[in-house]
Amino acid sequence: MALKRVVVTGLGALTPIGSTVQEFRESLFNGDSGAVPITRFDTSLFKTKFACELRNYDAGNYFDRKEARKMDPYCQYAIISADEAILDSGLDLEKIDKDRVGVIMSSGIGGMGTFEDEIANFAKGDGTPRFNPFFVPKMISDIASGQISIKYGLRGPNYCTVAACASSTVSLINAFDHIRLGRADIMVAGGSEAPVTTGGLAGFNALHALSTRNDDYKTASRPFDLDRDGFVMGEGGGALILEDYDHAVKRGAKIYCELVGGGLSADAHHLTAPHPEGLGAALVMSNALFDAGIQPEDIDYINVHGTSTPLGDIVEPLAILSVFKEHAYKLSISSTKSMHGHLLGAAGAVEALACILAINDSRIPPTINHFTDDPQIDSKLDFTFLKAKDREVRYALSNTFGFGGHNATVIFKKMDA
């Protein structure tokens, strides 16, 4: 059986640097930082007091009060980004076969805030287990996919993938496979995360993973800079409509680009640290290139994992050099986490959007907040520091790496005329 071609026909975003795809696009190429002091709880006792929070988010702008109370914020973010992607795709939901439309919206953590609130309320009580009946349905990571399918009556494949910070990239790969193998015509795929909670902040502080640059939070996310001191946590969601190419053409859909390959690998090394030689990172990129049937020299742009952590930012360039050899110096590279922060399980979906916008705008988003080169990182690589750069992008590759050594890579291709 010949594999079907898979294209992207809709985009949705709810991010710290833009509450729609258009807002995200403008901030992305302008090099805006989404880092702000945390406002939703008291951070006076925390080492880190800032994050990339959503701008002026109010659930009441999207849901009625009763509806919102049944959903953890991570689920709200997933639905909002999926709504925009479905609207953007121009799908006529009355004319498509909903048995052939699926949803894979992933989250690395799920309803952390819901879990914290319910346990805190129980601890303050008299020991009687009075839990909200929506506690479990609000908390579990798969419920966003379920809510989207219920809202739109989509009866195709429906689940989530959990692979830490690689979760939503894995969801894109799974959705890609469902379509190219003929199991579905359309998939709503992506991810969301709402980790800006007391537990989220305290947990990552305990791991010494977060930046503590409280006096200069706007420049705290410094991928590849000598003085980087950890990542900046972000929140939000991203969604893509993936569609069988023939199906999209038949209905006259606008097509942003083609998804041509995906790769998976494991570091098999450590719970939280990457392999020091980047073996898993190199393998996942090689696997994605093989899956796409292209050569390393075909890639123009890499949206790197680039979290602004001391070890991770050394290892990923080593892996790129291992895979791309001399072509590595001709690549454009950037870490958009320098702007929107690290959205954990939603990172892959949001950074896939950045790749798609780079292809469609012929422009490379920057890596902002660079001040000092790190002598352990090859300075001849083009990290697109500080300012966006015009460049035709025919193939764009996006890397996401998660705790547990989970690695996932996707490759997008500009549509031929």
Q: What is the DSSP letter of 259?
A: E
Q: How many other CB atoms sit within 10 Å of the CB of residue 64?
A: 9
Which helix (H) or strand (E) segment holds residue 412: the answer is strand 406-413
165, two tokens = 């910070």
Crossing angle between the packed helical segments 347-361 and 167-180, to the nearest 10 degrees: 70
| Cα→Cα distances 411→7, 144, 270, 303, Å | 12, 25, 26, 10
Which helix (H) or strand (E) segment holds residue 292: the answer is helix 279-292
258, two tokens = 């083609």
Cα(220)–Cα(216) distance, rounded to whole angstroms?
A: 6
Helix (H), strand (E) counts: the chain: 13, 14
Cα-to-chain-centroid distance, residue 311: 21
Q: Which residues are catalytic?
A: 165, 305, 342
Cα(201)–Cα(209) distance, rounded to whole angstroms?
A: 10
